[in-house]
């Protein structure tokens, strides 16, 4: 395209833009005013927590803590998230799924019940889903607990370790579990102690356990009273 043709095209384009602007100004007086409130892309609904401790939202299930079973809750849906509220407080938040009969389960919602029924731990759907993705150190810790404490008691104590994920960052808990596995720790109390002092710098001393019985310091002066011949 030659320069003259380009210049002619630009003048034609400018002419049409000017016409459109004039027509818009003429039409603007007949348009509806913009709404006062901003558009919201969330949807709200209510539901009831079933016996599985889930709320059905658009043919899919989202878990809540088991203590809310049987209660009515409020659900807020956005494009990416589903949030569930009870009494004005948020009790669960899940990535939204699309389709039918999909389960979004937070395993932490079920640990309190499983701690009272450790024999159901291996078969529980939330645990089976979680164990597919959790780090190998957790599996080794569970195996060690069961070997040293027995299957039922070891599983129950292991659940106490999983409950640490509620109040601590996952990376911190995993770091403490790895230390416990390397040290062949066999109790949740020891794992919790490692977690509490996970931020201690290398070479620093770990604080002693509270209320732990201590011996009085030895009297070294008695050694000077020992007689004998060389």
Last residue of a domain, one of 104, 132, 156: 104
Whether residues 76 and 129 share a domain: the answer is: no
Among candidate residues 106, 96, 101, 92, the one with its CA nearest the CA of residue 60: 101
Distance between CA atoms of residues 67 and 125, nearest Å:
18
Whether residues 93 and 134 share a domain: the answer is: no
- Alpha carbon of 229 to those of 18, 195, 221, 223: distances in Å? 119, 53, 19, 14
Whether residues 123 and 139 share a domain: the answer is: yes
The answer, yes or no, to whether residue 203 has pLDDT greater than 90, is: no
Whether residues 80 and 60 share a domain: the answer is: yes
Q: How would you classify the pairing of strands 54-57 and 60-63?
A: antiparallel
Q: For 2-5, which contacts have Cβ atoms below 8 Å and span 24 or more sequence positions?
A: none
Instruction: State how many domains the chain has.
Output: 2
pLDDT in tens, 63-78: 999 999 999 999 999 9
Whether residues 97 and 168 share a domain: the answer is: no
Distance between CA atoms of residues 76 and 102, nearest Å:
18
Say what the pLDDT of residue 13 is. Answer: 53
pLDDT in tens, 179-190: 999 999 889 999
The parent domain of residue 48 ranges over 43-104
Give percent of the chain with pLDDT exceeding 70.
82
- Whether 223 maps to a domain, the answer reads no
The residue ranking higher by pLDDT, 219 or 95, is 95
Say what the pLDDT of residue 212 is. Answer: 65
- Whether 69 maps to a domain, the answer reads yes
Whether residues 90 and 126 share a domain: the answer is: no
Residue with tokens 């959790």: 134
Q: How confident is the model at residue 142 (pLDDT cuts 50, 70, 90)?
A: very high
């Amino acid at each position: 395209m030659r320069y003259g043709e380009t210049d002619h095209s630009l003048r034609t384009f400018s002419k049409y833009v000017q016409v459109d602007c004039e027509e818009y100004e003429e039409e603007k007086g007949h348009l509806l005013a913009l709404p006062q409130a901003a558009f919201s892309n969330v949807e709200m609904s209510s539901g009831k927590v079933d016996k599985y401790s889930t709320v059905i939202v658009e043919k899919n299930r989202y878990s809540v803590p088991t203590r809310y079973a049987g209660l009515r809750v409020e659900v807020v849906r956005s494009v990416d998230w589903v949030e569930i509220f009870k009494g004005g407080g948020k009790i669960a938040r899940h990535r939204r799924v699309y389709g039918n009969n999909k389960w979004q389960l937070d395993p932490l919602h079920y640990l309190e019940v499983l701690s009272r029924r450790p024999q159901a731990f291996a078969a529980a759907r939330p645990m089976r889903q979680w164990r597919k993705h959790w780090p190998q150190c957790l599996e080794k810790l569970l195996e060690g607990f069961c070997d040293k404490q027995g299957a039922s008691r070891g599983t129950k104590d292991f659940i106490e370790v999983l409950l640490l994920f509620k109040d601590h960052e996952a990376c911190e808990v995993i770091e403490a579990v790895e230390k416990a596995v390397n040290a062949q720790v066999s109790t949740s109390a020891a794992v919790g102690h490692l977690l509490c002092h996970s931020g201690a710098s290398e070479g620093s001393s770990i604080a002693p356990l509270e209320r732990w019985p201590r011996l009085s310091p030895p009297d070294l002066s008695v050694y000077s009273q020992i007689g004998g011949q060389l």
